[in-house]
Amino acid sequence: MRARQSRPSVARVYSYVLGGRDNYGVDKDLGDYFIEDLPGSEKLAITNRDAVLRAAKAMADAGIRQIIDMGCGLPAAVNVHEVVRQVYPEAHVVYVDDDPFVVAHGRALLAVDEGITVLEADIRDPAGIENNAEVQRLIDFDEPVGLLFAMTLSFVNDEENPTSVVQYWADRIASGSRIYLSHFRTGTSREAMATASKILEAFGRGRFRTDDEIRACFGTLALDEDDLRPCVQWRGEDAEGHQPELTVWEQLVVGGMARKP
């Protein structure tokens, strides 16, 4: 664990910006940089998280009772299984993360019954995830599945082929399944370049992509009618159907959902 404490963790910094307390000094320092030196940049995390929960709700509303959250991060004030189980109390949820710190906290706080598990695995190894005994126990791939890739593909390098990660699942999930992903979007503003540079410096990886590059991550699946939108606008209308105005930060994180025909 000592090596993990010597440099910031994506999950811990993300949690800190969202108000979480499970972090180390290196995570707080980086989080404070974004909050204090790039004021407003916390919207990247906040609007992304809000959109993920809306995506989970949309999946449940579409009749999906089993979810795999790829790169779940630390437990939050509201978690995916809580949203889905408002619709289907018996829903099965698999949380996946490659950070042992995240997994330990997740198992303590999220795995509240036999229908939820927290798995330590790398999303770049989809076969390993699919063949895991807990996944096989909880997920019936002959029935629709919802998969969430919240920002995780932003940390999969081009040479690691993020499209192949999603396509693996697209080839295996049943008709009616959904895949949602959010991603850092390329920008040319000072704020965009400062954010991208700091993320790469801090984590050693992190890729901002254009809209076309993000759409390509869906492989053979076509995006639904909402297409690719800034997360704050992805199904984020108010009661009167108005879309929120975008800040420069909110333009830098987008999300979209595809349905397996």
User: C-alpha angle with apex 178: 177 to 183, nearest 5 degrees?
Assistant: 155
What is the pLDDT, as a whole number, of residue 77?
87
Q: Give pairs for 247-251: CB < 8 Å, separation 24+.
A: 247/40, 247/43, 248/40, 248/187, 248/189, 248/191, 248/192, 249/40, 249/41, 249/42, 249/43, 249/44, 249/191, 249/195, 250/43, 250/44, 250/47, 251/185, 251/187
The alpha carbon dihedral of 101, 105, 110, 113 has a sign of: positive
CATH architecture for the domain at 2-259:
3-Layer(aba) Sandwich (3.40)
Segment-wise mean pLDDT, segments of 10 residues, the chain, 261 residues: 64 88 86 90 92 98 98 92 98 96 93 96 98 98 98 96 97 98 94 90 92 97 94 78 78 96 96
- Least Cα distance to 69 among 161, 135, 155, 158 occurs for 135
Q: What CA dihedral angle connects 201, 205, 211 and 215, to 10 degrees?
A: -170
69-127 per-position pLDDT tens digit:
999 998 888 999 999 999 999 999 999 999 998 999 999 999 999 999 999 999 999 99
Query: Is residue 93 within a helix (H) or strand (E), and if so which, with residue range?
Result: strand 92-97
pLDDT of residue 229: 95
- β-pairing, 178-184 with 229-230? unpaired
Q: H helices of 41-153, where?
A: 43-61, 80-84, 100-109, 126-130, 133-138
- Say which residues have a Cβ less than 8 Å from residue 257's Cβ, sequence separation at least 6: 55, 58, 178, 179, 180, 223, 224, 226
